[in-house]
Structure 1
Amino acid sequence: MPAGGLCLIRIGGIPVGRLALARVRWWWAVWRGRTRYRAGIVVEHPRAFQLPGVLAPLTLLSAEDGRGGGYGIVWDCRTGLLTATLRVVPSSTWLADRADSDTWVASWGGWLASLGHLPQVRWVSVTVDTAPEPGSTLAGAVSRSAAPDAPAAARAILDELVRTAPAAAADVDTRVSITFDPYASPTKPGTLAAAVAELGRLLDGLASRLGGCGVSVLGRASAAEIAGTVRMAFDPRSRGEVDRLLSYGVPEVLSWGDAGPLAAREHTDRYEHDGGVSVCWGWHEPPRQNVRSDVLAALVAPGPFPKRITLQYRALPAAAASRVVQQEVNAASFRAQFRRRTGRDETARDSVDAARAHQAAAEEAAGAGVCLVSMYAAVTVTDPELLARAVAHVETSADTARIRLRRLWGSQAAAFATTLPCGICPPDLTRRFPR
């Protein structure tokens, strides 16, 4: 009876037994020192700044794209997974026709459905990274374009613009990270070089079809850009310096050893790292009403604090998709029969859930794909006194989007890593490290 009560009693939709088990595991991790990280500065190993936590087994590779350029690949040395990132610029739906927006959404659905026929694609992470503009980008552009013999009045106007514009500007970076599993490929590449070559071929096809989904594909992120993105996440104050280094266009300007923090410590409700404190959330419940194309506009819009919003898609194989949606239809029918036998009235939510289950089955039969969707959000502040304000800003934006976010107590470091272009997937971590 006590064990049954722990499974039935819920707090915030989570069984009490699971909450108690999570708390015991957290105490065990703290006692073993697994929530703290400090890099070795003076060591003989060339990778002096190893990344903490779930990022530890990752390393950064550089590969040729076949067009005379290169791109970066994050390689998980433990599992063999490869993650490449596409840099994209989304088109605004505010100035587009409704028909164009509907076409983009339909194309995105078709793009996700095609992943069900690619067993080597494990998951796709779409991240919108926003932060207040540090001012270095505009200052560098003005200094390079200003003529030495320009009038003093004109230079004074430009200096005033450079000084005041960052207060109203934002740095926005949108990326699509695709994680591949070479072992699931039908060709079974035997070497890392062969796996990277197949990854490059798949990226060409995925990137070309992604262009019809309302985004402009800028290209594949280089190794330096991936390392710089990770570095800016751990140290928000370095954003201006990293942008300046990346503007040089030198491939080796930033390496994987520059990406990690010098120190990091995970608490149950926050994650402390170089120059900042972060709070992370997970998707607790999606919107219950009809979802429009601008449902996430308030959440992903730039704000006063650096934040990252990541949507992660895990496409089910085409053969398993029909079985999953049929199970949902059977579950809806079982609940309807149970209500009739017990004399219960059907609620509005029961009716909507049954209609959506039948609609999903009909759409899957017509060729739609089935994906497991999850969302992760992270906000970072450089002043701990502003943390409460940043948390309120994100949670208010989520409420505006009709999305319920749940702070990931005891899993802040893993959620923080999920929002980076490194191929981290929390559900995969739970299966990889059984507890």
Structure 2
Amino acid sequence: MKHEPRTYGGWRQRRGVGLLGLDTTATFTALGAAMGVVLIAAVVPGLLPYLLPPVALGAALGLVRVGGEPPARLAWARWRWWWGSRRGHTRYRAGVVVDHPRAFQLPGVLAPLTLLSAEDGYGGRYGVVWDRRQGLLTATLRVVPASTWLADRNDADGWVASWGGWLAGLGHLPAVRWVSVTVDTAPEPGSTLAESVGRALDPSAPERARQIMGELVATAPAAAADVDTRVSITFDPKVSPTGSTELTGAVAELGRVLDGLASALGGCGVAVLGRATAAEIAGIVRTAFDPHARGEVNRLLAGADADDALTWCDAGPIGAVEYTGHYEHDGGTSVSWAWHEPPRQNVHSNVLARLVAPGPYPKRVTLQYRPLPAAAASRVLQQEVNAAAFRAQFRRRTGRDETARDSWDAARARQAAAEEAAGAGVCLVSLYTTVTVTDPAELPRATAQVEAAADNAKIRLRRLWGSQAAGFATTLPCGIYPAELSRRLVH
């Protein structure tokens, strides 16, 4: 008997009670403005000809869509970018020969971060990225995933179910703010293989054999890839059960949470290698800013004194310049995208395989999960169901027909509420992708390759115009969450 492969779904964009593509706030603002125009027209009809032009302009700026965004929002973003560029916020230069404790501060949204080294309770140490502005702590677990292509279908289904249960469990850990799963791939620089072969090669071996080994080492990097998978967990001590805001106690609480989360990950199709050390986190950030340093960083981390090989001062770039469509930094140029729309249909367990697969350019793909507290998840989903019913009632009152997408969205909202009532968790999901090239001339080819892989994964990506530095930082194990950044007041 032939069995069809299992499919998965459940993604749905949060909509609220917005009408005509607007969010909730904009919808009520537009309705209030319309009621104001009606009242003015009834009381002072002579003002109506003067009100219609600004009202029409405001409607055009708010209702028309350019690339999925209203022109008013695009104009505001352009103005903020111009103002930031004029003030020098898009450029960074490190003071290499400056005797100052902040000379090596990282650029942009990474500036408030610092790197700590903590004891894991088992005789080892691990790295913690501390956000000094918000008080958040981020630790990273190094994992090795199993391939779903080589696994039995039942095993793959079990891994997906366990991963769903792992995410659902986060709803009962209020201190866990969000989780970032990153697959970091790059062509193997060849230094590790060359050093290994060089140590093993017998000086008395025949010249022809030595020549063949040299040719193999020279050609191997074109076919090999360096793949690193990690799970970064951001912890908020202020809402932890202990309520400890003192740094030492907060890090100790984070360590206890990591023990439980790491043990539960074992059933999700990954092997947990352990917690990333401070030197490994600094090395990841360093190679992201300078792709040419990958071989040297790998050599340092493989040495005997790996724990002290790299520090936070070594992680940052010497210089970086952000443009609207790309980000230039030490030895590389990067482009970042965000998840614009998830797959509209059910997908297989390996839907992201093409997107995260190694390619000819260094690439990082990050999936971020922000779990909703278990107590709030049912309320949020019920609000989504009520919002879908409100939009359906509005269409009936205005004589508009229901579209296929409206029907699908309402069904998804009811399905999510029913699944949550049966014990499922609810997460806000986003995806970010960054590709880096060492030759700017290769940038068009690299961007085309990533966008083609996203299309193969049935995902719509949107280039982060004007937010390239933030997108670049999001794919690093530093606990950056763009949705949280957008809510902060920028001074």
TM-superposed CA distance for 1:420, in Å, is: 0.4
Deviation at 1:79, TM superposition (A): 1.1
Corresponding residue of 2:435: 379
Q: How does 1:337-348 map to 2 (within 5 A)?
A: 337-348=393-404
Report the equivalent of 1:264.
Answer: 320
Instruction: In structure 2, give the amino acid aligned to 1:262.
Output: I
Q: What's the CA shift for 1:282?
A: 0.8
Local SS of the residue matching 1:40: coil
Query: What amino acid is the match of 1:318?
Result: A
Q: Give yes or no for the alignment of 1:418 onto 2:474.
A: yes
Matched, 1:12 2:72: no
Q: Which residue of 2 aligns with 1:31?
A: 86
The answer to whether residue 475 in structure 2 is matched with residue 430 in structure 1 is: no
C-alpha distance in structure 2 between counterparts of 1:342 and 1:263, whole Å: 56
Q: Does 1:361 align with 2:417?
A: yes
Partner of 1:60 in structure 2? 115
Report deviation, 1:340.
3.5
Indicate whether 1:201 and 2:259 are aligned: no
SS in 2 for 1:42: coil
Q: What secondary structure, in the 3-state scheme, does the structure 1 residue paired with 2:267 have?
A: coil
Pair 1:406 & 2:462 matched? yes
Q: Which amino acid aligns with 2:388?
A: A
Give the Cα–Cα distance (whole angstroms) in 2 for the partners of residues 342 and 46 of structure 1: 64
Contact 1:235–1:273 (8 Å) recurs in 2: yes
Does residue 397 of structure 1 match 2:460? no
- Is the CA contact (8 Å cut-off) linking 1:47 and 1:257 kept in structure 2? no
For the 8 Å contact 1:122–1:315, the answer to whether it is kept is yes
Gaps of 5+ in 2: 1-54
| Alignment-mate amino acid for residue 332 of structure 2 | G
**Alignment pair present for 1:192 and 2:247:** yes
Deviations 1:290-344 (A, max 9, x none): 1321111111111111111111110011111001111221222223333344444
Q: What is the one-letter code of the residue matched to 2:118?
A: A
| Equivalent residue number for residue 128 of structure 1 | 183
Equivalences for residues 232-311 of structure 1 within 5 A: 232-250=287-305, 251-311=307-367
**Residue-by-residue CA offset, 1:66-97 (whole Å, 9 max, x unaligned):** 11111100011111110000001110001111
Q: Is the 8 A contact 1:62 1:71 kept in 2?
A: yes
Q: Which whole-Å CA distance do the structure 2 matches of 1:198 and 1:145 have between them?
A: 45
Amino acid at match of 1:104: W
Structure showing greater radius of gyration is: 2
Report the counterpart of residue 370 of structure 1 in structure 2: 426
Q: Which of these residues, 280, 288, 306, is aligned with residue 225 of structure 1?
A: 280
Instruction: Say whether 1:81 aligns with 2:136.
Output: yes
Q: Deviations over 1:157-192 (max 9, x none)?
A: 322221111111111111100000111112111421
Q: Give 2:391's match in structure 1, choosing from 327, 335, 346.
A: 335
1:118 to 173, 185, 193: 173
Matched residue of 1:108: which SS? helix
Return the alpha-carbon distance in structure 2 between the equivalents of residues 150 and 88 of structure 1.
39
CA distance in 2, matches of 1:82, 1:30: 31
The secondary structure found in structure 2 opposite 1:245 is helix
For this pair of structures, how many residues does the alignment match? 435
Q: Tell me which moved more, 151-160 or 416-425.
A: 151-160
Q: 1:406 to 1:190 in 2, by over 3 A?
A: closer
Q: Report the more deviating stretch, 326-335 or 182-191.
A: 326-335
1:138 aligns with 2:193: yes
Aligned-residue offset at 1:350:
2.3
Query: Which SS does the other structure have where 1:379 is aligned?
Result: strand
Q: Deviations for 1:357-408, whole angstroms, at most 9, x for unmatched residues?
A: 1111111001111111111111111111111111111111111111111111
Query: Does the 8 Å CA contact 1:7/1:16 hold for their aligned counterparts?
Result: yes
2-side partners of 1:190 and 1:334: how far apart?
43
CA distance in 2, matches of 1:154, 1:68: 45
For 2:216, the equivalent position in structure 1 comes to 161
1:220-271 C-alpha deviation (Å, 9 max, x unpaired)? 0000100000000000011111111111042111000000000001011110
SS of the equivalent of 2:189 reads: coil
Between the aligned partners of 1:245 and 1:325, the Cα distance in structure 2 is 49
**Contact conserved, 1:83 with 1:179, CA < 8 A, in 2?**
yes
Seen in structure 2, the aligned counterparts of structure 1 residues 45 and 276 have a Cα distance that, compared at 3 Å, is: same
1:178 aligns with 2:233: yes
Identity rate, percent: 75
Does structure 1 residue 94 correspond to structure 2 residue 149? yes
Tell me the CA shift for residue 355 of structure 1: 1.8
The alignment's C-alpha RMSD in Å is: 1.4
Distance 1:146 1:433 in 2: 59
Are 1:85 and 1:421, in contact at CA under 8 Å, matched by a contact in 2?
Answer: yes
* Cα distance in 2, alignment partners of residues 23 and 146 from structure 1: 58
| SS in structure 2 at match of 1:122 | strand
Q: What is the rounded CA distance, in whole Å, between the counterparts of 1:281 and 1:52 in structure 2?
A: 19
TM-score normalized by structure 1?
A: 0.97
Q: Aligned match of 2:269 in 214, 231, 235? A: 214
Deviation at 1:346, TM superposition (A): 3.1
